[in-house]
Amino acid sequence: MEFAELIKTPRVDNVVLHRPFYPAVEGTLCLTGHHLILSSRQDNTEELWLLHSNIDAIDKRFVGSLGTIIIKCKDFRIIQLDIPGMEECLNIASSIEALSTLDSITLMYPFFYRPMFEVIEDGWHSFLPEQEFELYSAATSEWRLSYVNKEFAVCPSYPPIVIVPKSIDDEALRKVATFRHGGRFPVLSYYHKKNGMVIMRSGQPLTGTNGRRCKEDEKLINATLRAGKRGYVIDTRPLNVAQQARAKGGGFEQEAHYPQWRRIHKSIERYHILQESLIKLVEACNEQTHNMDRWLSKLEASNWLTHIKEILTAACLAAQCIDREGASILIHGTEGIDSTLQVTSLAQIILEPRSRTIRGFEALIEREWLQAGHPFQQRCAQSAYCASKQKWEAPVFLLFLDCVWQILRQFPCSFEFNERFLIVLFEHAYASQFGTFLGNNESERCKLKLQQKTMSLWSWVNRPSELSKFTNPLFETNNLVIWPSVAPQSLQLWEGVFLRWNRTSKYLDEAYEEMVNIIEYNKELQAKVNILRRQLAELETEDGTPDSP
């Protein structure tokens, strides 16, 4: 298919762009296969350069022959284009609609994007499972890499390489896979070096109504327990949902068959409930005329912060089991690709200092989200404005990022990255020139040949010039476990994302600049003092007479 077929009017003059907090600009609107561009005629500067895939919904209306298109983006921005001429406006609108909802992944921008920067490090090879495993293998020999899923045959949503207990062979893994939802047999998610406890994750056990059991499954997870120790299974569904799942062939670990494991149900919402929550929240934030009562009631009704609290609570519980109780845990919900990953990844943020560094966080996203098979393509297909709600759309990843932001706010010096980094990840998960978040799992990414055909987000992010923007000036390594507060009074609306387009942040940005200046100045002064001290000491030894005060 040629993009040209979809673009009936590639160019319109005298288009006026309206954005909140900016004066209106008049310019020429151009449509390309992947972008909507508006450049003002004065000095041919681009005022707007928008990826079609970032467009969530459009509205059009007419007053006489003047058409107006309102574009609502997946990053929650709303802009307005006034287009003279009804035909032009209709053409533009239908082109945008078609181009922003392309069916085929291979038509997406990442397959066409040619980087304008020199690739220093290929992000596709930055976080290989083998390297990640090396970090563990120095501390423990109880685990091994398994290639049982090399052809994606055992579990379609798992990567080719997973970490499993050394004592369990591939044959057993194949059997366990038949007993777990989606073939997602328990694998290692995190190894806590401090005490050797682990987080494992999986899909639900397929016990069904007649209490089916699987010896290999029991053996596998028991293999992770020390003699005489008990472990915890954290089920991210409420008990009744887990019980109902048995009717559909699913279920949960029965005490009788897993006597060494205690099961805790920690309910975390999924799917459309989350999507609706997001829609309501964004709607509340966009309404500028709400009085106080209406704002607060809408904020409450969105339930967004309730979900944040739920997720953080479950993650803290998991971290607590590991660090305080000295117990290993297995986490799953139904499929083990949404709430499960929120909990395992956040628990690592709490427990593991490395995951709070930039590279460590990237590795975490690579391991716990991309390789672990979170279906980004489905979940992030649409955002808060789209009318056609599909049940597989859900802001699971955004909720995770929001939770990280909440912890970052409470421990502002313990993270190497800043809020900007989290926002960039949110943006790229929904619309990007990079291939990283395309596809739903490694198997799909492999088939799409993303490594060969697209650029990795990490190749761009990890360049020094970009990294400096994402670096937290306050960072100082903190090797402790960090326990966030989950009280409602301690949680806040993530303004940087949800109010980003609804208010000016000029004064806050300036204050941030000033803070950076103070820190930079401090470093400079310290360096200078050190140089002077050295100079003085040299002079003193030359003199042979130390300065007596």
Partner 1 sequence: MEHIRTTKVEQVKVLDRFSTGNKSLTGTLYLTATHLLFIDAHQKETWILHHHIASVEKLALTTTGCPLVIQCKNFRIVHFIVPRERDCHDIYNSLLQLSKQAKYEDLYAFSYNPKQNDSEQLQGWQLIDLAEEYERMGLPNTHWQLSDANREYKICETYPRELYVPRIASKPIIVGSSKFRSKGRFPVLSYYHQDKEAAICRCSQPLSGFSARCLEDEHLLQAISKANPVNRYMYVMDTRPKLNAMANRAAGKGYENEDNYSNIRFQFVGIENIHVMRSSLQKLLEVSGTKGLTVNDFYSGLESSGWLRHIKAVMDAAIFLAKAIMVENASVLVHCSDGWDRTSQVCSLGSLLLDSYYRTIKGFMVLIEKDWISFGHKFSERCGHLDGDPKEVSPVFAQFLECVWHLTEQFPQAFEFNEAFLLQIHEHIHSCQFGNFIGNCQKEREELKLKEKTYSLWPFLLEDQKKYLNPLYSSKSQKFTVLEPNTISFNFKFWRNMYHQFDRTLHPRQSIFNIIMNMNEQNQQLQKDIQDLESKIKQRKNKQTDGVLTKELLNSVHPESPTLKTSLCFKEQTLLPVNDTLRTIEGSSPADNRYSEYAEEFSKSEPAVVSLEYGVARMTC
Site for partner 1 in 265-304 (CB under 8 A): 266, 285, 288, 290-297, 299-300, 303
The dihedral built from the CA positions of residue 147, 151, 155 and 156, taken in this order, carries a sign that is positive
Among 18, 167, 474, 501, binds partner 1 (CB under 8 A): 474
Q: Is 63 among the residues that bind partner 1 (CB under 8 A)?
A: no
Q: Cα(75)–Cα(55) distance, rounded to whole angstroms?
A: 9
Contact between residue 9 and residue 92 where contact means Cβ atoms under 8 Å apart: yes
Closest CA to 110 of 457, 367, 422: 457
Considering the complex, what minimum distance in angstroms separates the CB of residue 357 from partner 1?
A: 16
Contact between residue 280 and residue 290 where contact means Cβ atoms under 8 Å apart: no
Q: Where are the beta strands (DSSP E) in 147-221?
A: 162-165, 187-192, 197-201
Considering the complex, what minimum distance in angstroms separates the CB of residue 424 from partner 1?
A: 21
Considering the complex, what minimum distance in angstroms separates the CB of residue 471 from partner 1?
A: 15
CA distances from 51 to 99, 113, 323 (A): 10, 12, 44
Q: Which tokens belong to 290?
A: 């709400």
Specify the residue, 313 or 378, whose C-beta has the smaller distance to partner 1. Answer: 313
Q: Give me the 325-344 binding string for partner 1, x by CB under 8 A, dash otherwise.
A: x-------------------
Q: Which stretch binds partner 1 (CB under 8 A): 12-20, 99-107, 129-137, 262-270?
A: 262-270
Specify the residue, 209 or 522, whose C-beta has the smaller distance to partner 1. Answer: 522
Q: Which stretch binds partner 1 (CB under 8 A): 46-54, 102-110, 114-122, 537-545?
A: 537-545
Distance from first CA to last CA of the chain, Å, rounded?
84
Considering the complex, what minimum distance in angstroms separates the CB of residue 194 from partner 1?
A: 13
Considering the complex, what minimum distance in angstroms separates the CB of residue 297 from partner 1?
A: 5
Q: What is the DSSP string of 417-486?
A: B-HHHHHHHHHHHHS-SSSTT-SSSHHHHHHTTHHHHS--HHHHHTSHHHHHHHB-TT-----S------
Q: For partner 1, how many residues bind (rule: CB under 8 A)?
A: 85
Among 31, 161, 484, 497, binds partner 1 (CB under 8 A): 484
Q: Is 139 among the residues that bind partner 1 (CB under 8 A)?
A: no
Applying the rule CB under 8 A, the residues between 500 and 519 that interact with partner 1 are 502-504, 507-508, 510-511, 514-515, 518-519
Among 11, 215, 229, 324, binds partner 1 (CB under 8 A): 324
Specify the residue, 464 or 544, whose C-beta has the smaller distance to partner 1. Answer: 544
- Classify residue 533 as left (phi > 0), alpha (psi -120 to 50) or beta: alpha
Considering the complex, what minimum distance in angstroms separates the CB of residue 389 from partner 1?
A: 23
Applying the rule CB under 8 A, the residues between 69 and 128 that interact with partner 1 are none
Specify the residue, 246 or 309, whose C-beta has the smaller distance to partner 1. Answer: 309
CA distances from 157 to 104, 343, 374 (A): 20, 18, 8
Q: What is the DSSP string of 44-66?
A: --EEEEEEGGGEEEEEEEEETTE
Considering the complex, what minimum distance in angstroms separates the CB of residue 394 from partner 1?
A: 19
Q: Cα(380)–Cα(102) distance, rounded to whole angstroms?
A: 14
Q: Is 228 among the residues that bind partner 1 (CB under 8 A)?
A: no
Q: Which stretch binds partner 1 (CB under 8 A): 115-123, 167-175, 203-211, 412-420?
A: 412-420
Q: Cα(385)–Cα(446) distance, rounded to whole angstroms?
A: 31
Among 66, 70, 225, 499, binds partner 1 (CB under 8 A): 499
Among 211, 238, 249, 488, binds partner 1 (CB under 8 A): 488
Considering the complex, what minimum distance in angstroms separates the CB of residue 258 from partner 1?
A: 16
Q: Is 147 among the residues that bind partner 1 (CB under 8 A)?
A: no
Closest CA to 182 of 363, 338, 378: 338
Q: Is 384 among the residues that bind partner 1 (CB under 8 A)?
A: no
Specify the residue, 30 or 321, whose C-beta has the smaller distance to partner 1. Answer: 321
Considering the complex, what minimum distance in angstroms separates the CB of residue 331 from partner 1?
A: 14
Q: Which stretch binds partner 1 (CB under 8 A): 56-64, 95-103, 417-425, 484-492?
A: 484-492
Q: What share of the chain is helix, strand, coil (3-state, %, to 5)?
A: 45, 15, 40
The dihedral built from the CA positions of residue 357, 358, 359 and 364, taken in this order, carries a sign that is positive
Considering the complex, what minimum distance in angstroms separates the CB of residue 538 from partner 1?
A: 7
